[in-house]
A and B are shown apart, each in its own frame.
Chain A
């Protein structure tokens, strides 16, 4: 078999951004633990943790293991294929993480999704919010060594994935929203699948709650661990459940409603404690809130088209060709020059796209700010002063997802 030569490992020293241990840990005290990238408690992030006995004195993060250059690649791609590129940042949360781009593009192209599309976006966004929260809870459980909620979380996530596949066409990366609408309509089949999914979730979620949140050992591990008070969380720029877990009442869906959130109003979930448990409780309540939102949106789902009328007018073959016809219409569109902003509440927090458009199909520049990137600094600050065993517990309470952070 061919054994290709890869020269990197011959020069191991160059893999560290801090060459010498002494620069991180001055003096003789403690050891520097290198956690990651091949470490079961860190995923693809590397943490240099200076531990003084069992207490973490300092943590230096080394992100960038999954930096694939999404922002740079976006400058070479026409706007109608940017969605699938940006959704790879957070694939289980794809409708949410793509939405800011869609909002920016719609503004640049002068499109406006019809009401039905807005509601469908909300339904899919909330569905994947549930899935992402369950993912974070499941991974948090396995980081604590609790394999049962891990399995249950992924089992329920699989049910959601199958319904996503039914509605949008793919388990994880469906690229459901498109500029000016959504990719597929909700059929009767999809609606039934969605309703039965919600019933199943409501039947199974209490078990998960008992196993995870009511478990005495989980309480011991999470309560009072990784505390960030409201002031500190805001200073460090935490977003999403990490911010709301510290008692700050901020949710983009409520503060700056987009799509159908103006009509289907979410209730912002806030916890005061600011510890790992509070952040996960916020996630849990948001799961319940999302189920309510989906129900409400399904009840008041308006009839009508799922893409903008003007697009339909310029794509006469849409009825015959389906969504491919719309893509034919995109080719003829050109964005107006200018700077556009999209800001939405993704599952892990506020996601923002800043689009510098020029009258060519490719954007001049695209800036993509993801919630995990914003949460990196608070996460690292929250780890200081706690135990080695708390590192994974704090890590996943922020729902840190490296592909999302590194883009």
Chain B
């Protein structure tokens, strides 16, 4: 199922793995394990729609793709969320608020930049009123596409789970 379980089996079961973690890192190691597991299955994006990719984000949480299976749940405010989904183009005017919302989110936090526009500009390359996402916030995962399909977004969420959260 998950790589954590795979490792657990390889090292002789969850119990011995837990024992090893406590022996190595003590309480702090255990806490970090719990935090990583919890964060992995509970990535909550705040409601920050930056452009038209928001349409596919709607489909991502709709019945066909249902990102809630992975524990992702759209949240209204920044204070209780930890995954910033940049939904497409960031305009100059929006960049201030993307930055602001990112700064408001509590640690640890992750960023998925979605769509060709957020990567480099996409079809709007050369426009006077936009910036790539990496100039505004540190991006963890990019998703290509215009707009990316919901499958690609699910993949990106899995990528954040595996690559970023588990290496915290």
Contact = CB atoms under 8 A, between A and B. Distances in A.
A–B direct touch in complex (beta carbons closer than 8 A): yes
Interface of A: 1-4, 6, 8-9, 12, 15, 37-40, 43-44, 64-70, 72-73, 76, 84-85, 88-92, 135, 138-139, 150-152, 154-155, 157-158, 161, 171-173, 402-403
B97 interface: yes
Nearest to A131: B55
Nearest to A93: B55
A67 B95 CA distance: 12
B62 A65 contact: no
A43 B54 contact: yes
A157 B91 contact: no
Contacts of B135: 4, 6
Given A68-B124, A157-B59, A172-B55, A38 B91 contact: no
A151 B56 CA distance: 13
A79 to B, nearest CB: 15
Contacts of B14: none
A88 B52 contact: yes
Contact of B64 (A37, A88, A158): A158
A191 to B, nearest CB: 23
A54 B128 CA distance: 40
Contacts of B117: 68
Contact of B59 (A67, A69, A161): A161
A69 B136 CA distance: 20
Interface of B: 46-52, 54-56, 58-59, 61-65, 76-78, 89, 91, 93-97, 99-101, 103, 117, 123-124, 126-130, 134-138, 146-147, 149
A269 B67 CA distance: 37
Contact of B58 (A9, A84, A135): A135
Contacts of A43: 49, 54
Given A4-B134, A4-B136, A72-B128, A158 B54 contact: no
B62 A155 contact: yes
Contacts of A139: 58
Contacts of A155: 62-64
Contact of A6 (B47, B93, B95, B127): B95
Nearest to A159: B64
A158 B127 contact: no
Contact of A44 (B49, B64, B136, B146): B49
